[in-house]
Amino acid sequence: MGQHLLTTVAEGRAFMQVIDGKAVDAISGQRIDVACPSDGKVFASIPASGVQDVDLAVQAARRAFEEGPWARMPAVERGRLLARLSRLIEKNADELAALESRDTGKPARQGRADVAGAARYYEFYGGACDKIHGDTIPFLDGYTALTLREPHGVVAGIIPWNYPLQILGRVAGAALAMGNTLVVKPAEDASLTAIRVAELALEAGFPAGAFNVVTGYGSDAGAALSAHPDVDYVTFTGSPATGTAIQQAAAVNNRGVTMELGGKSPQIVFADADLDKALPVLVNAIIQNGGQTCSAGSRVLIERPVYGKVSAALAERFAKLVAGPHDADLDLGALINPKQRARVAAMVAEAEEAGAKVLARGAIHKDAPQGGWYHVPTLFGAVDPASAIAREEVFGPVLALFAFDGEEEAVRLANGTEYGLVAGVWTADGGRQHRVAKHVRAGQVFVNGYGAGGGIELPFGGFKRSGHGREKGFEALYDMSATKTVVFNHG
């Protein structure tokens, strides 16, 4: 195993949140320990904020929205600020990647990929600021009607721990591009890079109050933010249960929401698929980030004539997978926290008890620190579609295989969960590519490929229990703004 190159980043640092352009502690002075999943050891701390801190951040965002330079800034200037932030992220890439890996346990290369993705979000949305515009509408004689795209105002972003840098980028990039101001509450398990990006935003020249980060527990800071009456719009990525709680809180104020709530995404492998191309993608789609990816390809549906061949090839690959500390840069890292590991372990045990067959297990590196929160990659074969492991999001390195006969059954199985986020279709048949892409209920469908999380230009979001609203691409800019219709009666 390689040297532990990244293990000293932020050692002992007491991080502060960023409110109104200043580094501030929680009013209560209480702090939350920050531990590294690779060894379970505490290395830093963040403020444990509550209702009052959130209120200060929302007030600051409100002031920045209504007064001061942000309120009058032309779109092109907002774009330049976002572009400057993108370049600062690139300039600080080594530190940010090390921080992200240490905070979440993800392999070093994934940390670096996440930094590149984050920089790309601010670049993309920086470029989009002055290219999105309203319409003129043919109306009655003597009138001119037009639409303006207006920011909502203060946007609250509640961010999960799996891809903090990237998800912050997609939320902040689109929200700020449209002229909103922002209060972000990252997950208490992964707040460090959000704090650093908010610091870099100040360095880039964002006015005080435009980009605030409040840290703390979801039940305190998160709940206070989603219920705050002066928040105009809420965007959330995380679990369906928390999504419901956040929507209920926002509903009291009748505010709009975007919900990105995970999935149980299928990859459908037909007998005519190019298996050399498909196999590495099938494995990566579930192993990337230890399976803690909303768009993870956690089900593989295989046409019966090739089921034996494909399942054997996947088992061979799974058996070779190794989990270990982030700085060893192995196939996967530890899971985010002991609760998540226990949840994954319980779902695997329950599946085995219910009769699901384990086709292969990977390994945890023999030198991996004892205190780390590792779970072995696990492959289940010929899973009962009615079972929990077939239907529920595991959010761990666990893949379930299913056999199917023909296109119709493939689509029925693919649509047979409450989720609908992403799907993959592997076939050489052009007609079938189009038919299946049309009939699968998912926000994104990849044909002969799979883009777990990737593609900043591509609109992304769920059907069914995977949520509503769209992020990424230009579509996110519509979610992050509202249409104002203006009618002139000039006779």
CA–CA separation, 216 and 185 (whole Å): 7
Residue 39 near Mg ion by CB under 5 A: no
Q: From the candidates 199, 260, 393, 471, which is the catalytic residue?
A: 260
Q: For residue 66, how many other CB atoms are within 10 A of its CB?
A: 12
Q: Find the helix packing angle between 108-128 and 164-177, rounded to 10°.
A: 10
**320 to 379, contacts with ligand NAP by CB under 6 A?**
340, 343
Binding to ligand NAP by residue 244, rule CB under 6 A? Answer: no
Among the residue ranges 23-31, 100-108, 112-120, 454-462, the one whose residues contact Mg ion (CB under 5 A): 100-108
Q: Which does 103 bind (CB under 5 to 8 A by kind): Mg ion, ligand NAP, none?
A: Mg ion
Q: First-to-last CA distance in the chain?
A: 78
Q: Does 463 bind ligand NAP (CB under 6 A)?
A: no
Q: Are 207 and 64 in contact (CB under 8 A)?
A: yes
Residues 262, 266, 377, 462: which binds ligand NAP (CB under 6 A)? 262
Question: Residue 226 binds which one of Mg ion, ligand NAP, none, with CB within 5 to 8 A depending on kind?
Answer: ligand NAP
192 near ligand NAP (CB under 6 A): no
- Which amino acid type is present at position 430? G
Which residues in 290-319 contact ligand NAP (CB under 6 A)? 294
- Identity of residue 58: V
Q: Among residues 111, 110, 116, which one has the least CA distance to residue 98? A: 111
**Of residues 111 and 179, the one with the C-beta less far from ligand NAP:** 111
Shortest distance, position 252 Cβ to ligand NAP, whole Å? 13
User: Can you tell me which of 223, 383, 389, 440 binds ligand NAP, judged by CB under 6 A?
Assistant: 223
> Catalytic residue at 129?
no
Partner touching 289 among Mg ion, ligand NAP, none, CB below 5 to 8 Å by kind: none
**187 part of the interface to ligand NAP, by CB under 6 A:** yes
What is the DSSP secondary-structure string of 450-487?
--TT--TTS-B--SGGGEES-BSTTHHHHHTEEEEEEE
Find the shortest distance in angstroms from Cβ 45 to ligand NAP. Answer: 14
Q: Tell the smallest beta-carbon distance from residue 44 to Mg ion (Å).
A: 9
User: Of these, 218, 325, 416, 443, which contacts ligand NAP (CB under 6 A)?
Assistant: 218
303 binds, among Mg ion, ligand NAP, none (CB under 5 to 8 A by kind): none
- Per CB under 5 A, the list member of 103, 220, 393, 407 interacting with Mg ion is 103
Closest residue by Cα to residue 159 from 209, 201, 222: 222
Percentages helix, strand, coil for the chain, rounded to the nearest 5? 40, 20, 35
What does the buried/exposed string (b/e) look like for 164-198 if buried means 16 or more CB atoms within 10 Å of the residue's CB?
bbbbbbbbbbbbbbbbbbbbbbbbbbbbbbbbbbb
The one-letter amino acid code at 259 reads M
Among the listed residues 139, 217, 463, 478, the single contact to ligand NAP using CB under 6 A: 217
Q: Which of 100, 129, 199, 294 is catalytic?
A: 294
Contact pattern for Mg ion over residues 157 through 196, marking x by CB under 5 A: --------------------------------x-------
**Contact in structure between 151 and 178 (CB atoms under 8 Å):** yes
Nearest CA to 296 out of 466, 451, 108, 117 is that of 451
Name the residue nearer to ligand NAP (CB basis): 159 or 302. Answer: 159
- State how far the Cα of 204 lies from the Cα of 221, in Å rounded to an integer: 27
Helix (H) or strand (E) holding 150: strand 143-151
C-beta separation of 270 from 429 below 8 A = yes
Interacting residue with ligand NAP among 245, 323, 390, 477 (CB under 6 A) = 245
Query: How much is the CA Rg of the chain, to the nearest whole Å?
Result: 23
How many residues of this chain bind ligand NAP (CB under 6 A)?
A: 28
Does position 213 interact with ligand NAP (CB under 6 A)? The reply is no
* 84 versus 106: smaller Cβ distance to Mg ion: 106
Distance from C-alpha of 81 to C-alpha of 90, rounded to nearest angstrom: 14
Active-site residue flag, 260: yes
Q: CA 189, CA 217: separation in Å to the nearest integer? A: 9
Q: How far is the CB of 311 from Mg ion (least distance, A)?
A: 35
Residue 114 is a binding residue for ligand NAP (CB under 6 A): no
Binding site for ligand NAP (CB under 6 A): 158-162, 185, 187-189, 217-219, 222-223, 226, 237-239, 242, 245-246, 261-262, 294, 340, 343, 393, 395
Q: Rule CB under 5 A: which residues touch Mg ion?
A: 103, 189
